[in-house]
Amino acid sequence: MISVNDFKTGLTIEVDNGIWQVIDFQHVKPGKGAAFVRSKLRNLRTGAVQEKTFRAGEKVSKAHIENRRMAYLYASGDMHNFMDNQSFEQIELPTSQIEHELKFLKENMEVQIMSYQGETLGVEVPNTVELEVTETEPGIKGDTASGGTKPATLETGLTVQVPFFINQGDILLIDTRSSSYMSRA
């Protein structure tokens, strides 16, 4: 059991028969009445985000999530295969379970597979990934003075806004948390 006063971003808890990850939390001490903790939680099974309020000092169960390092192998129809690099064990996950992460996955990429009591919950991709630009309009000399952006399609199908100087074939560093361009690799 863990007190809600000890919440940290990324902590996994068990509440209402679900496994939730703390995305954001705020301790509130109103002038009148008891203190409470307002939190934003993400369900690791469904991906749904919910705001929940707890009384200060309330106890919740901590969920022990096991992370295993695996490599993304390939897509086979609606299923995606991952392999453990130590034991060579393979698992399949449906597209619906890893829809957001698919935008960043390349073959042979190292990822963390999250599981809880033998049940696979999902995939955790690195905070930044390197992806190649497959399609973008060519930058015209002199366009960079305004500091504008243009859309670019990457090798995984993800479309991001990039500066005018980015060309087709460039390798970019992409932030997976915000799905945005960071820099050239």
In single-letter form, the type of residue at position 76 comes to: S
CB 38 within 8 A of CB 24: no
pLDDT digits (tens, 9 = 90+) for 1-25: 899 888 888 888 999 888 998 888 9
Q: What is the pLDDT of residue 164?
A: 85
Q: What is the pLDDT of residue 141?
A: 64
**pTM: predicted TM-score of the whole model, two decimal places:** 0.72
Q: How many residues does the chain have?
A: 185
In single-letter form, the type of residue at position 24 comes to: D
CB 42 within 8 A of CB 65: no
pLDDT digits (tens, 9 = 90+) for 46-79: 778 899 999 988 999 998 888 899 999 998 889 9
CB 93 within 8 A of CB 142: no
d(CA 24, CA 10) in angstroms, rounded, equals: 8
Q: Can you read off the two tokens belonging to residue 77?
A: 């129809």
Q: What is the pLDDT of residue 81?
A: 93
DSSP letters spanning 111-151: EEEEEETTEEEEEE--SEEEEEEEEEPPPPTTGGGGT-EEE
pLDDT digits (tens, 9 = 90+) for 116-171: 888 888 888 888 999 999 999 887 666 555 677 889 999 999 999 998 888 899 99
Pick from 60, 59, 52, 66: nearest CA to 15: 60
pLDDT digits (tens, 9 = 90+) for 95-124: 888 888 889 999 999 999 988 888 888 888
Q: What is the pLDDT of residue 52?
A: 93
